[in-house]
Structure 1
Amino acid sequence: MNFLIPCLIISSILFAGCHHNLEINDDLVERRMNSVFLNKDQNEVDLNALTDFSWEKAYIFPPYTTSEYMTEKLGFKWNNATGIDYRDDINLIVFVKDKKVVKYIELPRKYGDFASGDIENGITPENSIVTVEIFD
């Protein structure tokens, strides 16, 4: 029994660490989004330019998106730890390949929101330009 508790703790830490490896949290995204944000004449973002990995479809979830809605759109259940269903400060961009989440971006809303027409059915690498509604 004493052996079980440390194993559970270590497993939880490893699982949490693996989950966070899915998050894209680097300077590339920040730099690219800042260039859009600073250029008020430009309101489009190419999701391919934000990635350096292979993906089949991307989904953009606005603040307060429920897990049920995400499951419906993704086509599978994803146990995300972003808390998007309670947050109003981010948009969540989820990249999928082979019916698995390969990466995601918690994109601060300071960059604006995404136009719903672009994102309703998912975005493909071949059609990866989305419109951002930039706040004044």
Structure 2
Amino acid sequence: MKRRRYASAVAALLIVAPVVVSLLHYGFTRVDDAYESPFRRSLAEAASGGDVLDMATVAPFDWDRMYMFPPYTTRDQMEDTVGTKWTPPVGYVGYLIHRSEFGRHVLNDDSVHKLVFVHGDDVVLDITLDRTVDFASSRGMVLRDEARYTLERMEDGRVVARNTP
């Protein structure tokens, strides 16, 4: 009888422990989405208004550097470039998918690219954007003080943002 209880306790621990560890990792790596909607509105406004875009004004929250990831960049490549792991604001089930092989290719389409804003060692905004405002010429990392863009309007309706520090 004691063996059966012991075996049941060990089995329960083996089932519960990975879930607890996974939930903790999710909690520590999850990026809050509080800045996403204001950023999208501000970016659309800035892109429709003038010929220059100052990202520090468009993204007034605290950040030190911004990374632009072009289409087909894998999650692993992004995390290696930024130097940290993070989970976009997708909920726990989304986190499980994001960490699986299915979530490895998050930019699997020519029409999207990703901006990742980092403050210190923390990702504060992870946003996937369609390329109506195209930051593809800004590959890599851009410091906040150098995140100024000249906007060029294309005939197809896209706005190309070229970095002009």
* CA distance in 2 between partners of 1:7 and 1:29 (Å): 38
* CA distance in 1 between partners of 2:148 and 2:76 (Å): 26
- The structural deviation recorded for 1:67 is 4.8
Change (3 A) 1:26 1:78: closer
User: Which moved further from structure 2: 64-73 or 30-39?
Assistant: 64-73
* CA distance in 2 between partners of 1:70 and 1:37 (Å): 26
* CA distance in 2 between partners of 1:19 and 1:26 (Å): 17
Q: Tell me if structure 2 keeps the 8 A contact 1:93–1:106.
A: yes
Which residue in 2 is equivalent to 1:16? Answer: 26
- TM, length-normalised to structure 1: 0.67
Which residue in 1 is equivalent to 2:134? Answer: 113
Gaps of 5+ in 2: 1-9, 88-97, 158-165
Question: Which residue, 123, 140, 149 being the options, matches 1:102?
Answer: 123
Question: Which residue, 34, 46, 62 being the options, matches 2:70?
Answer: 62
* CA distance in 1 between partners of 2:71 and 2:30 (Å): 20
Q: Tell me if structure 2 keeps the 8 A contact 1:113–1:133.
A: no
Q: Tell me if structure 1 keeps the 8 A contact 2:116–2:125.
A: yes
Q: Secondary structure at the match of 2:56?
A: helix
User: Is 1:52 the counterpart of 2:72 in the alignment?
Assistant: no
* CA distance in 2 between partners of 1:57 and 1:8 (Å): 34
Q: Secondary structure at the match of 1:63?
A: coil
Which residue in 2 is equivalent to 1:31? Answer: 41
Give the percent of matched residue pairs that are identical in Structure 1 and Structure 2: 21
What is the number of equivalent residue pairs in this alignment?
129
RMSD: 3.2
